[in-house]
Structure 1
């Protein structure tokens, strides 16, 4: 995103999120062995922040850093059997590490942390489509973007619209959605990349994943932005949730929004959609836990972890 002031959040929080009509408390009487749990960890807009902020930083003293994030992720993986680690874009740009290494270091470190999937943010084009392509061999994880058409660029075939994971018998479909590049990124950087309407594309792929692929959880990795109060017609995560269906979770980026806790929006069918975004610069790690009972009823809890 463009440089702007953003909301600082200083307290960890958690919330109970009922998906469909079933709250987590419904599982209390169930046999623990019958409950399946899927843990989703996520970041967004890390912007090449490898080191923690300095101890004397006026807004984020001592916070963040790859080493701390890696340690927390490792602890969670040791405690939980079924974990996915996702990123919602703008991996690049923001410190001299990107200027010097061009994204190689970021991708190598994310690979060491065993990220499973990421989408593409506007700043990930800062060295052009050729620059992004050159760094992809360093990423031991895939990229998804459903509404960027790369067919006439060097990224053709390197970015898929979605990916499906299976964890503990649960099928999880994840697709990516990106912000409009025109006016935000120099045309010479994204070249012939075509931006397609996020709502139309989301409707298509969410239905495909939920109905055709029979995914139990559908996740949108979005770099649209959480909301635009001064431009209510601009597509954002809240609008995407309201105007589509078949999505269970939107993991957002772009607006550097520090949510106190995940929010829930009603989709076009009146069903719950969880939305979360954890600020920027690797200060926070998002966590959403999905629970299924033996009848495949779904509920979730969400929180952020301050690093």
Structure 2
């Protein structure tokens, strides 16, 4: 297991950055409450490790290895949540043969807490996605896909909250526009809603109604694009008010460290994405002190 520190610090105490009312610093003065967020994205049905002869990812990845890492981290901190940012399906013969059943069953074995829906998760249509729902013990979360006129109606939630050691964590999902990426006959009457407007609605609800201390977005928009107006995680971070962490997918972006962006309140938002194919496991640790002060540390674990 190889770890790379995502966050660099200029002093022993770290550099303090405002993060939506939460301080982002080194973990020298750790708070009394500790929440760990683990995440993957764009696993694309990669169940086995890459072969040792692979030119890019020799002997990396594999669900069994990820399970061992996740279990070890949960043993260290029982207040741990595990998320996926979409594109669970499509990429190996496992999907071609089992249609996503194996992926959902294995994620359930790993006790994922929630996943958002990526464009490739429609590759067997909304009916194919629905057929795999019984194999998922975790929540499917998407706030800007309206499934009310499809067979998926009622099987996807816009957000989910978790209470860990007195800390209320709210998580909402945001998906990419399907037109041009997915055939209409596959997503059918799924309605795509503006991701920025929906994100503002979700984070406001999570902060004001659900009283969340930590707000996370599972995004399959993509990290960034040459077109400055195309919705992406960077723009999402800059246009929101209360979201503390955006866990991204779609663009298979291997970030060396979480990107820190400034939101509409002038406070910092973490944006992270750990590549693809399950070769990395993202880890973000939030240490809560009294009131709103915390410390945050991020590492990337190479599987």
2:93 is aligned to 96
1:3 is aligned to none
1:61 is aligned to 58
Q: Would you say 1:285 and 2:286 are equivalent positions?
A: no
Aligned to 1:270, what secondary structure does the other structure show? coil
How many residues in Structure 1 have an aligned counterpart in Structure 2?
A: 293
- Equivalent residue runs for 1:175-186 within 5 Å: 175-186=172-183
**Preserved contact between residue 124 and residue 186 of structure 2 (Cα < 8 Å):** yes
Aligned partners of 1:305, 1:201: CA distance in 2, in Å? 32
**Preserved contact between residue 133 and residue 155 of structure 1 (Cα < 8 Å):** yes
1:6 is aligned to none
RMSD: 1.5
**Preserved contact between residue 93 and residue 123 of structure 1 (Cα < 8 Å):** yes
Shift in Å at residue 12 of structure 1?
2.5
Shift in Å at residue 297 of structure 1?
1.4
**Preserved contact between residue 143 and residue 159 of structure 1 (Cα < 8 Å):** yes
Aligned partners of 1:87, 1:25: CA distance in 2, in Å? 26
- Equivalent residue runs for 1:113-124 within 5 Å: 113-124=110-121
Aligned to 1:15, what secondary structure does the other structure show? coil
Aligned partners of 1:209, 1:242: CA distance in 2, in Å? 18
Shift in Å at residue 24 of structure 1?
3.4
Change (3 A) 1:193 1:56: same
Change (3 A) 1:116 1:26: closer
Aligned to 2:7, what secondary structure does the other structure show? strand
C-alpha distance after superposition, 1:283-305 (max 9, x if no partner): 00000001110223133111110
Change (3 A) 1:141 1:197: same
2:38 is aligned to 41
